Amino acid sequence: MTQTKQHEHDVDVWVGKRFPLTIRRLGVNGHGIGYYKHKVCFVPGALPNEVVVAEITRVLPRYLEAKVHRIRKKSRDRVTPRDHYADIAGGFELENLAYQQQLKFKRQVIIDSLEKFQPYGYRNYDVRPTIAAPEEYGYRNKAQFQVRMVNGKVAAGLYQPNSHTLVDMETCAVQMPRTMETVRAVTKMIEDLQIPVYDEKHNSGIIKTLAVRESWSTGEVQLTFITNSPKLPHKRELLERIEKKELPSVVSVMQNVNPGDTPLVWGDKMIHLAGKDSILESLMGLDFKLSARSFLQLNPEQTEVLYEEASKALELDKDDTLIDAYAGIGTIGLSLASRVKAVRGMEIIPEAVADANENAKLNNITNARYEVGKAEEVLPRWQKEGLNFDALVVDPPRTGLDDQLIKQILKVKPRKFAYVSCGMASLARNLRRLTSVYHVDYIQPIDMMPQTARCEAVVKLSLRK
Per the annotation, binding residues for S-adenosyl-L-methionine are 297, 326, 347, 395
Find out whether 303 and 268 touch, Cβ atoms under 8 Å.
no
Q: What share of the chain is helix, strand, coil (3-state, %, to 5)?
A: 25, 35, 40
Is 172 annotated in the active site? no
CA distance 57 to 283: 44
Cα–Cα distances (Å) from 346 to 22, 37, 376, 456, in that order, read 48, 51, 10, 21
Secondary structure letter of residue 85 according to DSSP: T
Burial 26-64 (b: 16+ CB within 10 A, else e): bbbebbbbbebeebebbbbbbbbebbbebbbeebeeeeb
CA distance 258 to 254: 13
Residues annotated as binding site?
A: 297, 326, 347, 395
Amino acid present at 92: F
Query: Nearest-CA neighbor of 327 among 313, 314, 343, 309?
Result: 343
Cβ within 8 Å of residue 436, ≥6 positions away: 120, 410
Find the catalytic residue in 41, 172, 422, 455.
Answer: 422
Cβ within 8 Å of residue 260, ≥6 positions away: 203, 228
Burial 72-109 (b: 16+ CB within 10 A, else e): eeebebbeebebebbbbbebbbbbbbeeebbbebbbbb
CA distance 449 to 292: 21
Task: Dump the DSSP string for 178-227.
Answer: HHHHHHHHHHHHHHHTTPPBPBTTTTB-SEEEEEEEE-TTT--EEEEEEE
CA distance 343 to 321: 6
Query: Nearest-CA neighbor of 208 among 227, 235, 189?
Result: 227
Find out whether 45 and 67 touch, Cβ atoms under 8 Å.
yes
Burial 156-173 (b: 16+ CB within 10 A, else e): bbbebeeeeebbbbeebb
CA distance 345 to 355: 12
Secondary structure letter of residue 65 according to DSSP: E
Cβ within 8 Å of residue 192, ≥6 positions away: none
Catalytic residues, by residue number, are: 422
